[in-house]
Amino acid sequence: RKEVEQDPGPFNVPEGATVAFNCTYSNSASQSFFWYRQDCRKEPKLLMSVYSSGNEDGRFTAQLNRASQYISLLIRDSKLSDSATYLCVVNMGAGNYGQNFVFGPGTRLSVLP
């Protein structure tokens, strides 16, 4: 089993749609969680951290379920500019020197006009 798995995609959705991505991780001791977006052939950019209580940033909502070891990202009212690959990132380390960021393979989203 891979350490971090994501919905395989691609997701093709019309503008204005709501879309959700899921990510599962293997290490129950994982410390922190992030969603990044990556445009084609560009660097990953932090979209949002994922907190235990869930968090929202505008049209984006992230949830964490530690019992089931998954995180999710919900995008409401999709825009054309949301088209990108979304990377789930899990820090599986512990303590100040235990950082171990593991990246999922990404889920590609295309928002269609």
Where along the sequence are the contacts to other proteins (CB under 8 A)? Answer: 4, 31-32, 34, 41-46, 49, 87, 89, 91, 93-99, 101-106
| Residue with smaller CB distance to other proteins, 12 or 100 | 100
| Residue with smaller CB distance to other proteins, 51 or 56 | 51
Min. distance of Cβ 58 from other proteins in angstroms?
18
Min. distance of Cβ 105 from other proteins in angstroms?
5
CB 23 within 8 A of CB 70: yes
| Residue with smaller CB distance to other proteins, 40 or 67 | 40
Nearest residue to 80 via CA among 20, 39, 42: 39
Min. distance of Cβ 112 from other proteins in angstroms?
22
CB 48 within 8 A of CB 36: no
| Residue with smaller CB distance to other proteins, 36 or 78 | 36
- Rounded (10°) CA dihedral 76, 80, 41, 31: -10
Alpha-carbon distance of 64 to 93, in angstroms, equals 17
